[in-house]
Structure 1
Amino acid sequence: MSSTNERMFTRRDFFKFSGAFGAAAGLAVAVSACAPADTNSSAGQASTGADASALNEDGTITAAISYELGTNGYDPMVTSAALTVAANWHTLEGLTEIDAATGETYAALASSMPTANGTTAEVQLREGAKFHDGTDVTAEDVVFSFQRVLDPANNSLYASFIPFITDVTAKDDRTVEFTLAHEVGVFADRLAVVKIVPKAAVEADPDAFSANPVGTGPYRMTENGANKTIRFERFDDYTGPRPARAAKMEWQIIPDPSTRTNALQSKTVQAIDSVPYLSIDQLKATDTVESVQGFGLLFAMFNNEAGNPFADVRNRQAFLYAIDMGKVIQTGLSDQATPATSFLHEEHPNYKRAANVYSFDQARARELFAETGLTKMRLLCTDHDWVRKCTPLIQESLVAAGIEVEFTEKKSADVYNTIDGVPGAYDVVIAPGDPSVFGTDPDLLMRWWYAADTWTDTRMHWKGTAEYEQLQTILAEGLEATDSATQEQKWGEAFDLISEAVPLYPLFHRKTPTAWDGTTLVDFKPISVTGLTFVGVGSTK
């Protein structure tokens, strides 16, 4: 790191301080998702806001973020908490990156957009790329970054996104060669899931790296949020395509929705994420507010462990039929969501209506529950502010269907700490999620939940079932398909299978409202899930 006087936290410090004010948003609540270009908002279009001619290149961007720090720190090999992933967007880079607002994939550390020639691909690093500690980025750093993600011993969630990469080698200091198991059309897009880190720094002190990451992005972190503020400053040696347009950024961590809203109205900050649905009209009087429809969802995850009542698919399906989703969305979310009719939301370019659609049907729910004899369940829910508007209504629907509900609400990280590797810990979990931060193709979105062991084995205990094995085959066939028609067919088969087995399934796909000061932020764009991105954004302040 540079010689500035910022405090350096170890991972032990990081956990101690972040634990004092709660754990982070849960895994898969990834920030700033890359919304498909066909969303029903103007995200990705030229934003209306402050005049670029008034840009202050020495200015500071201020924001309030709703999600708290994750327990895994900032290490991009393992973190998937909302806040840390958002911060990493600004401080770390992959060989490619995906624009959070438009979904566009562009060359970042790669000198040009990578392409695969059959089962091999060579990628050149951009000229003059440096890490924040002043060291040059080398091909060995790239190899190290991919190997640590692919190493099963590291249990990286991102390994499931790149199963087709079988080897990564350095041909020279600036050239990396990839060997692929088969041809794949999403090669360039998938490279974005692996952020390139300095081998020397990570190996020297992995805890220090996780607490204060060293990257190549347009900003470097100077304060890591342990005291509820994350600070960044412009990285002057950045050589990439999207340099910082402000000298500094300050993000306040404000989980409380009222406090976050007040911070914007008082001009303490210039932007906030996760606008409370009931505050949208209020904020429109003073600021710019926009809701973006995306993939981001609230899901029900069932305990498929043998002996649990939800190992019986009839109980899983009955649960979904029992919920009055129209009431949940209207009352809890002010109509800022759409009920799930498939794994994907209807605006997604690869959407296909699933074979099974769980419209509200309490008679059918009661019938299925009667067949299995289920009369009570344990419902474990996360406590995100907007989720808390929905879960009591979900409980109400289940009670109306004749089910006694033991309702427990915990912080997101506490939910997963409770259930991970403990098969008897729960019956049903309700939580938000959105892996579209890493890409929007259906294969990637499905692999997040239905291929990685963390979810299929450690959490939902679905791995090893006939349906699990069938889905892995379908996903592999879709990924290996060289024509779009076959790919679409396989994805459709997967949607149908998931809608029948429902080991984990969307309840709805939500719109995400963001609010910002359009008079001081230049080229700001809202995105489709919780989080904010200031890549390419400037300030007049």
Structure 2
Amino acid sequence: PSTAHHGPHPSPSGDDVTDLQPGRGLHRRDFLRYTGLLGAAATITAGLAACGGPSSTGSGGSGGTDTIEAALAYALSGGFDPMTASSAVAVAANLHVLESLVDLDPITRQPYNALAKEDPAKVDETTYRVTLRDGAKFHDGSEVTADDVVFSFERVMDPDNESLFSQFLPFLDGVKKVDAATVEFKLKYAFALFSERLGVVKIVPKKVVEAGQKKYDSLPIGSGPFKLTSASATDGLVFAKADGYNGPRPAKVSKMTWLLLAEPSTRVSALQSGRAQAIEAVPYLNAEEVSKRSAVESVQSFGLLFLMFNCKEKPFDDVRVRQALHYALDTDKLIKTAMLGNATAATSYLPAGHPDYVKASTVYGHDPAKAKKLLSDAGVKGLKVELVTTDTDFVKDCAPLIKQSWDAIGVATTLNVGQSGGQYSNRIDTGKYQVMAAPGDPSVFGNDCDLLMRWYYVGTWPETRSYNSDTEEGKKVVSLLDDAAREADAAARKELWRQAIDIAAEQAALYPIFHRKLVTGWKRDALPGFRPMPTTGLSFLNVDRG
């Protein structure tokens, strides 16, 4: 979802995804090897014991009316350095602690100037200048300078650093200092989404990071409205208001405490008892009961459950076989039974309601007869499939129903359900699999169609997971995305994206079954300005205590 990390780097055995030391970094190759993605999801299991935290002293919580207490659904896994951080907890924390030049609003997903004083100034088609906000300071009191901005971008772009975020900046040629408060960006080609894509790079203090990257990774210093004062796998995260912050989203409370409660019942109890004023990932089964005493909202997300095929293994190299297994799925039953209605069947790579949404030319409705005919046309009889899945709660609920749908068309299906890190390292990234069902959500990094499609259809995933990068269709998707990136006209760009989506849907090498809805619970009176996010995590920007 998933979180962004949603994917920690597990122990060598792949059995435990929660054993990362807080100060340890996560390289891009490790992230991609061991995670199904970002976002909600993905790899933290509900088996983590409930973490400690302040005890409840009544419905108002334990921190008073100038403190926000919240409960997240994931473990602390990996560090916070935004060059590599991708865990659910780190991404949510960095939203409050660090700033980009331009950030995406966590609720609306619309760009706004954060460290940038004003909109980036377009010098020419491939040159932009950005001026920093007057008086912007890091939490150690030092000024945010152009040197910090150049440093922050160059370390992400440096191939030796293997930053996950470099793949989202293919258009960027270089960054240089103009003066103490101004930087200039040179692009390889005109890129219409330049301003909002700046959000993938958080600005860090050069001197502090150079003095000790590991120390910074464990407790980052940013320029955001909150400073992180402590981070512990057992005691959670503690934030304090950053008094020197002068940006557009000031902290409205003096302190925040985040409990890390992977066990769903413990998280619900924290909300119901008043130990927390907000929790993410309200269990679908508990949503109605929780709504009797708290505000509960189910928000549509990009977060998906996808089917991925090993396209170098027969018969899955035949598009008809891949399509057949999609048409066989009773997705409505999946959503109703396993998700309790908290998902929307995929009619495109993007969920309906997304600003770039277009309905795909191929929509996989439940059609067992068509599925059987496709298999017959492909000359496939007596197909036996092992479905590899992660053990994320909702995926475990869906897996038996997927098996039921495939068994019903004569495909003998066995399930291989396991911890996400182990499944990726032992089966997926070794190519020892046929079909996988897993969650993912790259939208924590950005929300435009280009970024979302590049995650699954350019680079690592098609090259080393679905193994369709060398096909004519796989190459065409990359070509269309590259053409769209250079297209200045919005309508023409959307048309190129439509063509790419149509190919992705028809080929179904990796394609969503449904897009999830995320259920958040909160005390409306205690957090009058709070709104749930369409991605993993919680946002308390511009939120005060009632």
- Verify same fold: TM over 0.5: yes
**1:26 to partner: Cα distance:** 4.3
Partner of 1:455: 461
Q: Which has the higher contact order (CA 8 A, sep 6+)?
A: 1
- What residue number does 1:109 align with? 115
Matched-pair contact (CA < 8 Å) for 2:75–2:233: no
The equivalent residue for 1:45 is none
Deviations 1:169-213 (A, max 9, x none): 111221110001222221110001111122233333322222222
Question: How big is each residue's C-alpha offset from its partner over 1:25-67, in whole Å with a ceiling of 9 and x where there is no partner?
Answer: 94533269xxxxxxxxxxxxxxxxxxxxxxx997111111112
List alignment gaps of at least 5 residues for structure 2. 1-8, 42-62
Q: Is the Cα–Cα contact under 8 Å of residues 157 and 454 in structure 1 kept in the other structure?
A: no
Matches within 5 A, 1:295-374: 295-304=302-311, 306-307=312-313, 309-370=315-376, 371-373=379-381
Residues in 1 aligned to 2:146 and 2:424: alpha-carbon distance in whole angstroms:
36
Greater shift, 470-479 or 315-324, is seen at: 315-324
The correspondence for 2:246, drawn from 239, 257, 277, is 239
* Residue matched to 1:422: 430
1:377 aligns with 2:385: yes
- Distance verdict in 2 for CA 1:326–1:483, change over 3 Å: same
**Partner secondary structure for residue 538 of structure 1:** coil
1:49 corresponds to which residue? none
- Match of 1:495, SS state, is helix
C-alpha change, 1:430 and 1:521, in structure 2 (3 Å) is same
2:396 paired residue number? 388
- Do 2:388 and 2:417's aligned partners in 1 also have CA atoms closer than 8 Å? yes
Residue 110 of structure 1, CA deviation: 1.0
Preserved CA contact (<8 Å) 2:73 2:262: yes
Q: Which runs of 5+ in 1 are unaligned?
A: 1-10, 33-55
Pair 1:225–1:379, CA change in 2 (3 A): farther
Shift of 1:12: 12
1:31 touches 1:83 (CA, 8 Å); kept in 2? no
Q: Aligned equivalents of 2:155 and 2:471: distance in 1?
A: 29
Mapping 1:139-538, distance limit 5 Å: 139-304=146-311, 306-307=312-313, 309-370=315-376, 371-373=379-381, 375-419=383-427, 421-424=429-432, 426-451=433-458, 453-538=459-544
* Paired residues of 1:17 and 1:226 also in contact (CA < 8 A): no
Question: How far did 1:411 drift?
Answer: 3.1
Q: Contact between 1:276 and 1:386, CA under 8 Å: does it hold in 2?
A: no
SS of alignment partner, residue 484 of structure 2:
helix
- Equivalent-residue separation in structure 2 for 1:225 and 1:459 (angstroms): 34
Structure 2 distance, partners of 1:498, 1:438, is 21
Does 1:30 find its partner at 2:42? Answer: no
Using the alignment, how far apart are the partners of 1:246 and 1:84 within structure 2? 20
Tell me: CA distance 1:12–1:456, structure 2 relative to 1, closer, same or farther (3 Å).
closer
Distance 2:479 2:470 in 1: 13
For 2:382 and 2:448, the matched residues in 1 are separated by 37
Deviation at 1:260, TM superposition (A): 1.2
Q: Match of 1:539, SS?
A: coil
Tell whether the 8 Å contact from 2:10 to 2:421 is kept in structure 1 after alignment. no
Q: 1:68 aligns with which of 69, 75, 78?
A: 75
Deviations 1:207-256 (A, max 9, x none): 22222222221112222232251211112222221111111111111122
Aligned to 1:38: none
Which residue of the other structure, out of 82, 101, 118, is the alignment partner of 1:95?
Answer: 101
Q: Quote the Cα distance in structure 2 between the aligned partners of 1:60 and 1:158.
A: 33
Q: Which amino acid aligns with 1:125?
A: L
- CA distance in 1 between counterparts of 2:17 and 2:366 reads 44
Q: CA separation in 1, counterparts of 2:190 and 2:484?
A: 11
Structure 1 pair 77/266, CA: closer, same or farther in 2 (3 Å)?
Answer: same
Range 340-349 or range 411-420, more displaced: 411-420
Matched residues in 2 for 1:157 and 1:315: separation?
33
Change (3 A) 1:310 1:230: farther
User: Matched residues in 2 for 1:347 and 1:462: separation?
Assistant: 29
Q: CA deviation at 1:277?
A: 1.5
TM-score, L = length of structure 1: 0.86
* d(CA) in 2 for partners of 1:93, 1:422: 37
CA separation in 2, counterparts of 1:105 and 1:269?
Answer: 30
Letter matched to residue 404 of structure 1: A
- Output aligned runs, 1:4-15, within 5 Å: none
Displacement, 1:308? 5.1
Residue identity opposite 2:100 in structure 1: G
Residues 108 and 240 of structure 1 are in contact (CA less than 8 Å); yes or no, is this contact kept in structure 2?
yes
Match of 2:51 in 1: none
Instruction: Tell whether the 8 Å contact from 1:57 to 1:246 is kept in structure 2 after alignment.
Output: no
1:314/1:372 contact within 8 Å kept: no
Q: Give the Cα–Cα distance (whole angstroms) in 2 for the partners of residues 287 and 408 of structure 1.
A: 37
Q: CA deviation at 1:373?
A: 4.2
Q: Distance in 1 between matches of 2:180 and 2:419?
A: 45
Amino acid at match of 1:472: V
Whether contact under 8 Å (1:274, 1:513) holds in the other structure is yes
The answer to whether structure 1 residue 135 and structure 2 residue 154 are counterparts is: no
Distance 1:231 1:126 in 2: 27
Instruction: Show the counterpart of 2:3.
Output: none
Secondary structure of 2:245's aligned partner: coil
Once the 2 structures are TM-superposed, how far is the Cα of residue 90 of structure 1 from its aligned partner? 0.8
